[in-house]
Amino acid sequence: MAPRGTKRPLSDTEERPSPSVAGVESGPGLPSPPPPGAAGSSGPTPSLAPTPTPSKKKLKPLPATPSFQAASLTALRAKAARIQAQLAQLYPNPPIPLTHASSFQLLVAVMLSAQSTDVKVNTVTPELFRRGPDAEAMAKLEASEIEGIIRVLGLAPTKAKNVRAMSQILVEQYDGQVPGSWEGLEALPGVGHKTASVVMSQAFGHAAFPVDTHIHRLAQRWGLSNGKSVEQTEQDLKTLLPECTWRDAHLQIIYFGREHCPAQRHDATACPICSWAAPAAARQQGQASVHP
């Protein structure tokens, strides 16, 4: 997950239409944010560098359809809207939990957050960004030096190599700037769909819904997805929530999962959302795990 002040959508084209179920478009919402660089846009202008070298990575595409039947769409959208309203009250302006000062630093921080907590990532990035504040400076560091700084994180050797290789590609192909396209981001070493989604959403203002373990777990717990895969969860949530809510909803669900809805020993009957949104069987099972 993410500055205080943020896993993988698919290798999409630059813009994807909102998901639909049996021809039914996504629910109404506020207009999508203006494209980066346009008047009123707060995000940086994406790099206009040439098309990146094709990546050998094979990313899983999103399922073609949601996991639920079209007949249940209206009821599920109403439930999702109620959940989103509660989350908005709890977290009206959710900050990105990973400390960064640029789109490059956000990209690096999200790469480092895989199998590590945001809190731990935030303990190593100040020194890392002091030595490598941008792609050019980071590319000059040896992988061993980067690894030494981030060694407390899981998969540190691999992450160090990927951060250095990614920085070198940005310098060579993008004039040191982070590409503002799905194709460009997902071709970078160590960048999967979830990481690309975070950057596209938080740095460039594109419609994206990154799905991490908290979101994947809660969407299934609340009956909004069958939980078959993170790709299915992403497709389901994009279908149920208006596009204009995706950026904040992604962060709000993460914060709620951490603070109110743990994976283990969770009493669903005492949870502000699970108490009414989770299926009855899930509520009873959760209560039994806490009060055997």
**Any idea which residues carry the catalytic annotation?**
194, 212
Query: What angle is formed at CA 61 by the lines to CA 58 and CA 64, rounded to 5 degrees?
Result: 160
Closest residue by Cα to residue 151 from 174, 127, 176, 179: 127
Task: Go through the chain and tell me how many residues it has.
Answer: 292
Type of residue at 101: A
* Residue carrying structure tokens 């790709």: 231
Q: Which two tokens stand for residue 24?
A: 């039914």
Q: Which two tokens stand for residue 179?
A: 């590409």
Bridge partners of residue 179, in order along the sequence: 47
Closest residue by Cα to residue 221 from 128, 124, 289, 147: 289
Q: In the chain, what is the straight-line distance between the N-terminal and C-terminal CA atoms, in Å?
A: 33
* Residue carrying structure tokens 């809510």: 245
- Quote helix, strand, coil % in the chain, to nearest 5: 50, 0, 50
Task: Sort residue 224 into left (φ over 0), alpha (ψ -120 to 50) or beta.
Answer: alpha
